[in-house]
């Protein structure tokens, strides 16, 4: 099952996107519809709302007058929190029931207006944000829903900012323009990403594809993307996750890199790594076939058994990820973090490494040969210099010293 979170500001056009996805075959769970369901006439949810806000929030038939309630809660943050305390637990219970009843091979789209505000980003394989400029959203609320401009602007201002939604978005759909534009984008999203993503979750083990090496200029979105992915890994790892870090070249500002996000999940030992493998695969990070280990470095912990790890990839065809699962205190876990921090701190070493990468990418255009060609530099050049830098700066392994 692929879990997609769909969100966006009021008036942005989530319903348009949700309907199109449903036409393609997605199972859409509408949080607004479920929110209405839990306060329908005769429910304990409606009784609790009336007790909190008074009978003025009822219409003449005894049903909830959502406009009247909205005027109260959108003008008063405390009132909104009281309403959320009533409705959110009930919505969560109903949502869990609907998730459990979904087919195992479904693409389930959870349409949640307040997904970002509630901090739900790590619950999905993918978060899709539908965007429209604030002025356009206000116009839609006034022209299409009969809101006053003052009320519309208050509702828009009460929700997450564009910057907050950008940080949560794996997919950003701009719906400011013509309706057909966003529908075309949804069609591509379904065909090119959602369908193969869902199939990738069910296809195990993961087999790393043969790839040509393509170095990209530093991308300012890499750290934000890594934070989103790390949160999903951390959630999947549960109590066995000691820490999750962004490592590798995309974790070093200013360094050209392959467009691959490297993450390190540290667990107590590799038994824990095996225990969380299924949960990681269910979260979109299937385990790679075969046995994996890092190349031992000289002078310290040269036993190859100490450098063993587990390796996971990404089921998402549009976001390459390498997830390295290593034991706390292992030389591999230490090396990954020390190498990152050393390059961040030493511009000259960073420039030298980038020059090496560019040269080897020309000489070895395929990933396997490129990686093998870099290994002597790691052992002969980087390793001793990293060690001296660690001693000079009193760097400590954060996998064994949490206060690092």
**Binding-site entries for ATP:** 11-16
Question: Could you please report the per-residue DSSP string of 317-366?
Answer: TTS-EEEEEEETT-HHHHHHHHHHHHHHH-HHHHHHHHHHHHHHHHH--B
| Residue 375 to residue 352: CA distance in whole angstroms | 15
Give the β-pairing of 321-327 and 308-312: antiparallel
The CA distance from 193 to 317, in Å, is 6
DSSP 125-181: SEEEEEE--HHHHHHHHHHHH---HHHHHHHHHTS--HHHHHHH-SEEEE-SS-HHH
For helices 14-24 and 179-189, give the axis angle rounded to 10 degrees. 40
**Dist. CA 160–CA 8, nearest whole Å:** 9
Binding site: which residues?
A: 11-16
Max distance between CA atoms of the chain, in angstroms, equals: 81
E strand or H helix at 263 = strand 261-267
| Cβ proximity of 11 and 156 under 8 Å | yes
Residues 128, 285, 283, 219: is their CA dihedral positive or negative?
Answer: negative
Spatial distance between the Cα atoms of 223 and 225, rounded to a whole number of angstroms: 5
For the chain, how are helix, strand and coil distributed in percent, rounded to 5?
55, 15, 30
DSSP character at residue 382? I
């Amino acid at each position: 099952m692929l879990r997609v979170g769909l969100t966006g500001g009021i008036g942005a056009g989530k319903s348009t996107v949700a309907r199109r996805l449903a036409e393609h075959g997605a199972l859409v769970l509408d949080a607004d519809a479920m929110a209405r369901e839990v306060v329908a006439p005769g429910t304990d949810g409606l009784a609790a709302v009336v007790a909190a806000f008074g009978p003025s929030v009822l219409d003449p038939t005894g049903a909830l007058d959502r406009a009247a309630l909205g005027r109260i809660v959108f003008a008063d943050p405390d009132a909104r929190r009281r309403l959320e305390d009533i409705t959110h637990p009930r919505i969560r219970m109903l949502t869990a029931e609907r998730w459990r009843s979904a087919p195992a091979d479904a693409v389930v789209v959870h349409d949640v207006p307040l997904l970002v505000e509630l901090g739900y980003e790590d619950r999905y394989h993918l978060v899709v944000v539908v965007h429209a400029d604030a002025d356009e959203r206000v116009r839609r609320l006034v022209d299409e829903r009969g809101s006053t401009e003052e009320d519309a602007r208050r509702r828009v201002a009460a929700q997450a900012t564009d910057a907050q939604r950008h940080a949560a978005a794996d997919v950003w759909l701009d719906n400011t323009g013509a309706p057909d534009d966003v529908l075309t984008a949804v069609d591509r999203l379904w065909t090119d990403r959602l369908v193969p993503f869902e199939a990738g979750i069910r296809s195990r083990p993961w087999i790393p594809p043969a790839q040509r090496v393509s170095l990209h200029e530093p991308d300012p979105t890499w750290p934000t993307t890594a934070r989103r992915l790390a949160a999903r890994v951390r959630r999947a790892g549960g109590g066995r996750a000691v820490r999750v870090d962004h490592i590798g070249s995309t974790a070093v500002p200013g360094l050209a890199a392959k467009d691959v996000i490297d993450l390190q999940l540290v667990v107590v030992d590799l038994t824990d790594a095996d225990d969380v493998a299924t949960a990681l695969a269910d979260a979109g990070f299937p385990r790679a076939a075969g046995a994996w280990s890092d190349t031992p470095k000289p002078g310290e912990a040269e036993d190859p058994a100490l450098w063993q790890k587990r390796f996971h990839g990404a089921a998402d065809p549009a976001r390459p990820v390498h997830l390295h699962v290593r034991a706390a205190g292992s030389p591999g876990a230490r090396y990954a973090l020390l190498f990152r921090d050393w390059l961040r701190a030493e511009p000259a070493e960073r420039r030298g490494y980038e020059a090496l990468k560019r040269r080897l990418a020309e000489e070895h255009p395929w990933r396997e040969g490129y990686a093998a060609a870099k290994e002597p530099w790691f052992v002969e050049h980087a390793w001793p210099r990293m060690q001296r830098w660690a001693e000079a700066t009193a760097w400590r392994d954060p996998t064994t010293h949490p206060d690092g």
